[in-house]
Structure 1
Amino acid sequence: MKARLHTDWRHTPDSARGCVAALGNFDGVHLGHAHLVHALHAARPERELAVVTFEPHPRELFRPQDPPFRLTLPEERFAALAALGVRHVFQIGFDPEFSAMSAEHFVTRVLHEGLGLRHVACGMDFAFGHRRQGNVDFLTGQTEALGIGLTVVPPLSDSLGPYSSSRIRRLLQDGYPERAAEELGRPWSIRGVVQHGDKRGRLLGFPTANIALGRHLEPARGVYAVSVRLPDGRVCPGVANIGRRPTINDGQESRLEVHLLGFDGDLYGQTLSVALHTLLRAERRFDGLDALKAQIARDSAQASAWLALHQTGGPPAKA
């Protein structure tokens, strides 16, 4: 059964009512989130699995001045949840009106009346409602009164402590996408639409697909070995630069520029998912375009060798 996305909790179709749902932001959909979903399924295996999440992330509403921090935007998050066996994703619009809803009304109006949930699961530190007034103890009393089951799931931990989105963000910002992938259960990806650039990469002999980071976290700046999923499902090996292009010194914001190895085709306007596998080198300035061109050739060869050794990215794809 294909997963379904629901964005209006006030008008839930009958086919989506009666689910069991995990509650949270699920940024990244990492192994800790998977642990929560699996624990819920183990508690109520006879019911369809659902997730109740929020968009935008509450932090984006309350602290808009913060730098972008998202690990997954809605489309990528939905795909990751579907891969865990989630059949319904209730994506609640988190706006000023919703943020003012009391904890009691969130349980009664949204979870009970709006979504018709039979059982919910959350982490031990789950907080909700206006000014985060609701906690697990409050949720326990509310769900019991309404006849909704509740599973409170301890965090999944390793020797470094609980798995968390913030921990994965630090790994990516420090330049360790391999370690981030271990905690996510898959490589971290940036999904976005290919935009027109200045065509400088094509002039250098290495045409690139330019994707704005947008609301994504900016990882460590530098050159990465990547794999790129095309809209038709093909996966191509590639080499990508994330940064501000100091050699060209265009003074613009950081961007993702990816060169697909062995690919020849027009990608403008298409949505790509670029998975970061390893940081090959840090961003740095070169003495002119000839030196930059030579380095890009070396980067491409290194990325190709790394991806082939790790059997990641698939064979080069022709358009």
Structure 2
Amino acid sequence: MSSQADVPPSPEPAAVVLDPDRPVPDALRGAVLALGNFDGVHRGHAELARAAAAMAREQGTVPAAFTFEPHPRSVFRPEEPVFRLTPPALKFELLAAAGLPRVFVLPFDRDIASIGAERFVDELLVGQLGAAGLVCGYDFHFGKGRTGSPEMLQAHGLMAHVPVAVVPPFSWRGEAVSSSLIRSALQEGDVARAADFLGRPWFVRGIVAHGDKRGRDLGYPTANMHLPRDCRLRHGIYAVRMRIDGDWHDGVASFGSRPTFDDGAPRLETFVFDFSGDLYGHKVDVAFVDWLRREAKFDSLEALIAQMDADSLRARDILAKTPPF
């Protein structure tokens, strides 16, 4: 398995929620804006961050991200929620780690979606935010009916004397990196492939909750977390690492419905190797390193425990060969 970039620490990024009807403080105006949804903050997004930082140096200002929340699809197709790779707080943190410490967040609704592309640029990006420059991906579209395009942005920027850079598709191992590609990898359980295109392991954050205590009775006490309902990670067993109070610990995790017991709502259950502390109520990160096997129903507790022993040995072997985060 190839070495991955570190999962970033937890800085305190400055997320500025915009109100189109209120002015932005002068101290926040004049940044070079990288535009996009940035779900996952993957290798392609890192290219946008680098381009924004380079333009900001040329303009003598700072780079910032401009993004939307919630994801536009959740507004137009709420019955089909998109599998979010990074909820807002994690997205802002990862953007800061990528070099965009200031994040402007536009609350997305149908009123915002109805704003024409030219008005969007003139009144919001240039007018309200006083953008010193704009950076977008080759496939960025915005405004009413998604009529705003990179070409339109460049033409409009030229008239407004605002430089615009369009970042071409970013390929990794011969494939164009995209959030959709990474979602597909996770839905297949291929967390190593997802990590390769993200540039770091995919990880989730949550509060450890009380479970049914079965793991303790089986000799495998687990830290239980409920992931967002839109999570489409394949049900199965994974080699993982858990960050507890800033330190990473190896472990093995099950994500699924526990078919041997209750076929209940999906839950992430992580057994942390060689750890005996009380984690209830702790906020932790779980980073997925590799896939072990699919979820299965066992005819006896003895068979389940034997398989858990085998899973743990395999996870330990994989993680011993995986560079530290």
Q: TM-score, normalised to structure 1's length?
A: 0.91
Shift of 1:76: 1.6
Distance 1:36 1:261, change over 3 A: same
Distance 1:177 1:8, change over 3 A: same
Query: Corresponding residue for 2:317?
Result: 305
Q: Distance in 2 between matches of 1:126 and 1:215?
A: 27
Q: Is the 8 A contact 1:12 1:115 kept in 2?
A: yes
Q: Distance in 1 between matches of 2:289 and 2:133?
A: 38
Structure 1 residue ranges (4+ consecutive) displaced by more than 6 angstroms after TM superposition: none
What is the identity, as a one-letter code, of the residue corresponding to 1:58?
P
Q: Is the 8 A contact 2:190 2:290 kept in 1?
A: yes
String of CA shifts for 1:233-259, please: whole Å, max 9, x gaps.
1211111101111111x2322221111
2:131 aligned residue (117, 120, 135):
117
String of CA shifts for 1:196-217, please: whole Å, max 9, x gaps.
2222212222121221221553
Distance 1:68 1:158, change over 3 A: closer
Query: Corresponding residue for 1:79?
Result: 93
Structure 2: tracts of 5 or more residues without a match: 1-10
Q: TM-score, normalised to structure 2's length?
A: 0.89
Query: Corresponding residue for 1:23?
Result: 35
Distance 1:282 1:89, change over 3 A: same
Q: Does 1:255 align with 2:287?
A: no
Q: Distance in 2 between matches of 1:157 and 1:188?
A: 19
Q: Distance in 2 between matches of 1:104 and 1:266?
A: 55
2:206 aligned residue (192, 198, 202):
192
Q: CA RMSD in A?
A: 1.9
Further displaced range: 265-274 or 125-134: 265-274
SS of residue matched to 1:195: coil
Query: Corresponding residue for 2:258?
Result: 245
Q: Does 1:235 align with 2:248?
A: yes
Number of residues paired by the alignment?
311
SS of residue matched to 2:233: coil
Query: Corresponding residue for 1:6?
Result: 16
What is the identity, as a one-letter code, of the residue corresponding to 2:248?
V
Structure 1: tracts of 5 or more residues without a match: 314-319
Query: Corresponding residue for 2:4?
Result: none
Shift of 1:83: 1.1
1:132 aligned residue (141, 146, 150):
146
Query: Corresponding residue for 2:175?
Result: 161
Query: Corresponding residue for 2:277?
Result: 265
Q: Distance in 1 between matches of 2:23 and 2:273?
A: 46
Q: Distance in 2 between matches of 1:211 and 1:23?
A: 32
Q: Is the 8 A contact 2:185 2:191 kept in 1?
A: yes
Q: Is the 8 A contact 2:48 2:137 kept in 1?
A: yes
Q: Aligned ranges for residues 20-99 of structure 1 at < 5 Å? A: 20-45=32-57, 46-99=60-113
Query: Corresponding residue for 2:236?
Result: 222
The share of aligned pairs that are identical, in percent, is 46
Query: Corresponding residue for 1:282?
Result: 294
SS of residue matched to 1:44: helix
Shift of 1:120: 0.6
